[in-house]
Amino acid sequence: MISVCITTYNGEKYIKEQLDSIICQINDDDEIIVSDDGSTDATLNIIAEYNDKRIKVFHHDSSLITTKFPLDKPTHNFEYALTKAHGDIIFLCDQDDVWIEGKVKKMVAALNDSYLAIHDCIVTDSNLVTIAESYFKLIRIHKGVISNIIKASYLGCCMAFRKEILNLALPFPKTKVGHDLWLGVIADAKFNTTLVHEPLIYYRKHDGSMTPSGNKSKYSLYFKIKYRLTIIKEIIKLYLNIR
């Protein structure tokens, strides 16, 4: 069984195109977990119009996240979605991308020999006009705990992994660790990771994007150091089994 975990927040502009690209690739016994962060537009109405038993909508209470780190709300929205997933294989998914035909089959095949797989993607603007043919080349993709602490290169929307990863990943650290980096370093530290060098989604970059991946960081040196120390602390706790 496959679980596709999508987080939404005011995604009416793109959510139908994204769901259409997913539904045609999954089976009748798979599921799409939608965790909504309090949308006030037509996002939930659009989802309801599918009337598809595979789509299960949950409501994440973002008011419980009181920290100022901008990625904390989407990170813990993903965490909430993952707690609702029942699949043996789990895909992470943003609300505004488009999956390329064959993504599910190719990623499931990649997980025959690994616990987490990350594929390449085509970076586009809001109208799906190509900005970069390969995110891997743009970011200089690299595996490994230390190298990703120094410079994070994993994108959650390009990830699929076996459910065993969640035994260590949940609960997420409370603050300042992005969900994709956290899942990636756990896979690198405790399991194994495969890179799939083929673009399998159109990855939209626009003003409403929640993550700065592929862009120059806007954070201060102080913040970057503090962020990395937080990650190191959480990884040490992981190794010592004191989380």
Domain range annotation of the chain: 2-240
Element at 168 (helix H, strand E) = helix 164-169
pLDDT level of residue 210 (50, 70, 90 thresholds): very low
* Residue 189 structure tokens: 């530290």
* Residue 115 structure tokens: 């616990």
* Burial of 145 per CB tally in 10 Å (0-12, 13-18, 19+): middle
* Residue 55 structure tokens: 């789509």
From CA 174, how far away is CA 123, in angstroms rounded? 30
pLDDT level of residue 242 (50, 70, 90 thresholds): low
Element at 236 (helix H, strand E) = helix 221-240
Instruction: Provide mean pLDDT across the span 93-112.
Output: 97
- CB atoms under 10 Å from CB of 213, counted, come to 22
- CB atoms under 10 Å from CB of 192, counted, come to 12
Nearest to 33 by CA among 54, 8, 59, 5: 5
* Residue 193 structure tokens: 């990771």
Distances in Å between the alpha carbon of 56 and those of 5, 28, 92, 170?
10, 13, 15, 21
In the CATH hierarchy, which top-level class contains the domain 2-240?
A: alpha beta
Instruction: Provide mean pLDDT across the span 117-134.
Output: 97
Q: What share of the chain is helix, strand, coil (3-state, %, to 5)?
A: 35, 20, 40
From CA 141, how far away is CA 14, in angstroms rounded? 27
Q: What is the pLDDT of residue 173?
A: 83
Whether 144 shows a pLDDT value over 70: the answer reads yes
DSSP class of residue 65 equals -
Say which range, 39-43, 56-60, 174-178, has the weakest mean pLDDT: 174-178
Whether 70 shows a pLDDT value over 60: the answer reads no
- CB atoms under 10 Å from CB of 216, counted, come to 5
Each residue's pLDDT tens digit, 186-203: 999 889 999 999 999 999
Instruction: Provide mean pLDDT across the span 4-29.
Output: 97
- Strand-pairing partners, residue 59, are 36
Residue 95's Cβ-side half-sphere holds a number of Cα atoms within 13 Å equal to 27
Nearest to 158 by CA among 214, 207, 76, 113: 214
